[in-house]
Structure 1
Amino acid sequence: MFRQITETVFASPQIGTDAIAEAKALGIVRIINNRPEGESEDQVAGDVIAAEAATAGIDYVAIPVGHGGFSQAQVDAMADALDTAEGPVLAYCRSGTRSTLLWALARAKAGDSPAVIASKAAAAGYDVSPIRQLIDMLSAGK
């Protein structure tokens, strides 16, 4: 269920409380929820995931991203959540795509190569082409 993007970053579709044990077994130290609350009736609420993560000793951060796109504040929050984690991170949303795209933007902001970002995302089964121009601009600005 978890797709590995880098050695320390995983993306996933919506998780349930049962996924917390799997995350713990992988050494995940932070779970990042990129899904807005109430996006669908079948999603597990963020506070339920947060409580289960806390019980397992895993940090939880919510950076909700709607279908309207990404803001600079969201990119900054994702970069901070990734940079301050003291171990592997799992980011999730409905399909894992928004989490991967937000990771890509955060890494571009840090100056990573757009080609490397795209390659890592593709190897995990995600396509960053819808935001490739933004990745290029963020990376060039570093």
Structure 2
Amino acid sequence: MDIRKLDDDIAVAPQISVEDVAEAARLGFRTIVANRPDREEPGQPAMADIEAAARKHGLEWVYLPVESGNIRDSDIDRFAPVLEEAARPILAFCRSGTRCTVLWALSSARKHPIEPLLMKAANAGYNLAGAKPRMEQQAQEHRGEA
């Protein structure tokens, strides 16, 4: 499992397996967030199976599917409260981890300075320079600044 820490509250990963859930619990994660739609591609594990494993290991489960390459404001509106309310630390996954990282950055830009968010993403191996204008838009709409 390729876990990439964004900050103390959240890490992201490419698609996890049912077996990875036990390792996530052992590592101290308290919530798993699935941002990948079920059956997005043939052969991916069923979300119901990952959810069952999460519950078996005492983890909170959040299924918040987001279409790859098409993150809508409504997706950000659903993800932002998860960052605030879910038991931490959170492990979010999708196909590659990028979708989760973009969701985190767009949601976080509503409350936090953008440049440190871009740096955290880069340190985790995700270049979000292309998302900066949208992060600025989220900041402007939710903090009244850019």
Q: Please give the range of the TM-score, normalised by the shorter of the 2 chains.
A: over 0.9
- Which whole-Å CA distance do the structure 2 matches of 1:68 and 1:126 have between them? 15
Partner of residue 66, structure 1: 67
Partner of residue 121, structure 1: 121
Say whether the 8 Å CA contact 2:109–2:136 is kept in structure 1: yes
- Which whole-Å CA distance do the structure 2 matches of 1:112 and 1:129 have between them? 16
Partner SS state of residue 44, structure 2: coil
Letter in 1 for 2:92: A
RMSD: 1.1
The answer to whether structure 1 residue 34 and structure 2 residue 35 are counterparts is yes
The answer to whether structure 1 residue 134 and structure 2 residue 121 are counterparts is no
Unaligned runs of 5+ in 2: none
% identity of equivalent residues:
35
CA offset digits 1:50-93 (Å, max 9, x no partner): 00000000011111111341122211211111111222000000
Unaligned runs of 5+ in 1: none
- Which whole-Å CA distance do the structure 2 matches of 1:103 and 1:81 have between them? 10
Q: Work out the number of aligned pairs and report it.
A: 141
Q: TM-score, normalised by structure 2?
A: 0.92
Letter in 2 for 1:79: A
- Which whole-Å CA distance do the structure 2 matches of 1:68 and 1:122 have between them? 19
